[in-house]
Structure 1
Amino acid sequence: MRAFTTVTATVAPLDRPNVDTDAIIPKQYLKSIKRTGFGQYLFDDWRYLDQGDLDIPVASRRPNPEFVLNQDAYRGAQVLVSRENFGCGSSREHAVWALEDYGFRAVIAPSYADIFFNNSFKNGFLPIILKADEVQKIFEVVAKDAASEVTVDLPAQQVKLPSGEVFNFEIDEFRKDCLVRGLDEIGLTLQNADSIRAYEAQRKASAPWLFN
């Protein structure tokens, strides 16, 4: 898992509440269980004017010129800002995979669906909760200048605007530590690999019949 410390990047504004996981990554793409390749289908129904599927090359489809991710100013954005209840709907972890694979490192919103929120941390993706008026301020900054960059400073738990204004956010200390060190649940377990091997060797010696 990629470590997350500080990211300075442009922001893609998705001015919609209740963005559900089927909008983030539609159901027809869930046939793949790889964690990569989903970025090209992110927000598929909004991003393209025709229906997509795993068997249809993205290059052959018609992009929706009105959708934010198809506008040149936001193509390299690494931070997404949206409204309340982001990530509602089904529990599909593919939603986080699609956001991360596209290139986003964090999303900023006033609130999230619980399962999406938890899945984000398991995949090195940072869901930031800010007050509604603070989120509104970010939308206003981006509306005035699409090239505006914000800095997400995880160690300091801050979102910094180009003006120098700073918004603080809360995060569980354990989750923060895992993100900063780039450790998912498997990575955390492997930190104890020597102890696990020693225990298995001792267990095999004391109860060999369990290993036949």
Structure 2
Amino acid sequence: MLRWCFLFLLGLSCSLSAAPQVRVVGLFPNAAVLSIDGERKLVKVGQAGPQGVQVVRADSQSAVLRINGVESTHTLAREYASGGYTAPGKQSHVLPRGEGGHYRTSGLVNGRSMTFLVDTGATSIAFSEVHAQRLGIAYRQQGEPMTASTASGLTKAWRVKLNSVKIAGIEVLGVEAAVLEGEFPREALLGMSFLNRIRWREELGTLVLESKH
């Protein structure tokens, strides 16, 4: 009897130690990007990812995963292990590829909401005057006059310094931006003045943004 109990407890211990390390690093309607023991995969509802981890339900707020037959709710960038949940040290945000192969994301500029089109070809964040006025940026008074090169040619612009730009949990302080005269660009561009100060990569039809610290 004692031998049987010992074998049973040993088997239970092995089962618990084998629980995979799972992080939800991207959330979409009916799909989630999972990091399972370091392997990332986009898994749709009803499908199983590495090590049999299944996505039961998913939306932009959370995902219900089935891990070793047990269902649990996960929010973005949380880690599950036999010991419970832990938050990762670095912040990450995953963007799905949208129409035309572009990536879009919402964020905060100096604490005010803004929607961005990610543009790795833009040297800095770029706004139209309409965007800048809505954000309360005093670009004509405090900005440095410059000439910007656009697809339509050269245009008058002002170089400004933003106090902060925050995308999900990733915040960068003192970010350079350009305010272009007129109504273009129609969408604010998230350019390299922000992207150069974080880590980013394309992966499985998504764009992964990560803080450096």
Please tell me the TM-score bracket, short chain as reference.
under 0.3
Higher strand fraction: Structure 1 or Structure 2?
2
Q: Please say which structure displays the higher CA radius of gyration.
A: 2
What's the TM-score once normalised by structure 2's chain length?
A: 0.24
Greater RCO (Cα-Cα under 8 Å, separation 6 or more): 1
What's the TM-score once normalised by structure 1's chain length?
A: 0.24
Higher helix fraction: Structure 1 or Structure 2?
1
